[in-house]
């Protein structure tokens, strides 16, 4: 274990008998002396909670915002994307299980102080930083420090998250420089209860809270074969999106592929396209179908006149037609895009 990766945790309460309660995410683990919580990134040492992953990174890569996906946030730009280990969820279909299923400490990781990470982003001419790959809440204390420094340098900061952090954690992130968050929705109440054993209400609460805090929000719904592809689930997610995120918040309906412990066939395209039709009919203005290269719903269209505004090819923006004040050049409809286009 690297001593440099061990820091006092910021969100916990002390209980009797040397126990502590972690307040970082809504699992709110009760942790006895010498033990760890569900995610394994925090340990109780004599009645104090410590993180074991401060600055211990599993990956550092410059990646397009469209990969994450952020389609309405600094289109065409890149962010230095970084991760640590473990997760507070255990999704059987996880695409990043090689890092999310591993509990720290990890000998072959790299330790990068916040100042050095921001310097790397500047040297590579990235427009921002993004905590992703595994659940970024695991490196909460580190991202607070990184984002403060990043904002001072004029860079943007984003999270790619399952949205299960506590209300206090999200508020602290917003106060320290977080600009945008993409929240993955796993399905309806049954999926969260039976498959993940967590509270269905929390991610939607945090979608709403993030918008109240002034963060840019995009929602991704991975439609998993045999888990969340029933039309009742599709409609539930769409209804919740309209209620908590609002009609102008981008909704990405993404295709699942077999991974980790779940090996059923990829999501049928017709299921994804049906979900897209339902979402548009119900009033979601910006609906995308992801993980299907070349499909007609990876582009941004004006919800008023259907004019093609942003054309994408894979993870690249190939045409950008918004006016300088972010309006449709054909009908003048205001389009909710944050930041400038980088080509």
Residue 3: pLDDT band (50, 70, 90) is confident
Domain match, 40 and 78 both: no
Domain match, 216 and 283 both: yes
Task: Report, as an integer, the average pLDDT of 303-313.
Answer: 97
- Taking residue 112's Cβ as centre, other Cβ atoms within 10 Å add up to 18
CATH value at residue 257: 3.20.20.70
Q: Does 333 have pLDDT greater than 80?
A: yes
Domain match, 29 and 150 both: no
Residue pair 68/130 in contact (Cβ under 8 Å)? The answer is yes
Q: What share of the chain is helix, strand, coil (3-state, %, to 5)?
A: 30, 25, 45
Domain match, 164 and 29 both: no
Task: Give residue 325's pLDDT.
Answer: 97
pTM score, whole prediction? 0.97
Residue 330 lies in a domain: no
Sole residue written with tokens 């003048």: 332
- Residue, of 313 and 107, whose pLDDT is higher: 313
Task: Give residue 105's pLDDT.
Answer: 79
Classify strands 20-22 and 12-14 as parallel, antiparallel or unpaired.
antiparallel
Query: The domain containing residue 27 runs over which residues?
Result: 3-51
- What SS3 class is residue 17? helix
Task: Give residue 38's pLDDT.
Answer: 97
pLDDT per position as a tens digit, 289-298:
999 999 999 9
Domain match, 45 and 60 both: no
Domain match, 20 and 65 both: no
pLDDT per position as a tens digit, 178-221:
999 999 999 999 999 999 999 999 999 999 999 999 999 999 99
Task: Give residue 1's pLDDT.
Answer: 55
Task: Report, as an integer, the average pLDDT of 247-276.
Answer: 98
Task: Give residue 248's pLDDT.
Answer: 98
Query: Can you name the residues that pair with 182 across neighbouring β-strands?
Result: 160, 218
Domain match, 165 and 263 both: yes
> DSSP character for 324?
T
């Amino acid at each position: 274990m690297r001593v440099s990766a061990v820091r006092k945790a910021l969100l916990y309460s002390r209980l009797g008998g040397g126990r502590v309660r972690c307040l970082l995410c809504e699992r709110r683990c009760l942790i006895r002396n010498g033990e760890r919580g569900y995610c394994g990134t925090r340990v109780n040492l004599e009645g104090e909670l410590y993180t074991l992953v401060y600055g211990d990174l599993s990956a550092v890569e410059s990646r397009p915002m469209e990969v994450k996906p952020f389609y309405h946030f600094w289109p065409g730009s890149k962010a230095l994307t970084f991760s640590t280990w473990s997760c507070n969820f255990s999704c059987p279909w996880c695409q990043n299980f090689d890092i999310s299923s591993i509990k720290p400490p990890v000998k072959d990781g790299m330790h990068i102080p916040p100042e050095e990470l921001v310097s790397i982003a500047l040297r590579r001419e990235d427009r921002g930083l993004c905590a992703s790959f595994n659940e970024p809440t695991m490196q909460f204390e580190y991202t607070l420090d990184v984002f403060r420094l990043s904002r001072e340098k004029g860079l943007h900061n984003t999270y790619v998250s399952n949205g299960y952090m506590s209300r206090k954690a999200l508020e602290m992130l917003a106060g320290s420089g977080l600009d945008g968050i993409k929240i993955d929705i796993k399905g309806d109440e049954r999926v969260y209860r039976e498959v993940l054993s967590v509270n269905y209400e929390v991610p939607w609460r945090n979608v709403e809270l993030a918008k109240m805090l002034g963060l840019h929000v995009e929602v991704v719904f991975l439609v998993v074969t045999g888990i969340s592809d029933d039309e009742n689930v599709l409609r539930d997610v769409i209804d919740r999106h309209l209620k908590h995120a609002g009609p102008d918040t981008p909704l990405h309906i993404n295709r699942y592929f077999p991974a980790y412990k779940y090996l059923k066939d990829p999501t049928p395209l017709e299921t994804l396209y049906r979900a897209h039709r339902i979402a548009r009919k119900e009033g979601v203005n910006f609906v995308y179908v992801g993980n299907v290269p070349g499909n007609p719903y990876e582009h941004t269209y004006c919800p008023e006149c259907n004019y093609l505004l942003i054309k994408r090819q894979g993870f690249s923006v190939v045409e950008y037609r918004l006016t300088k004040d972010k309006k449709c050049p054909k009908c003048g409809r205001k389009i909710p895009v944050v930041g400038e286009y980088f080509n």
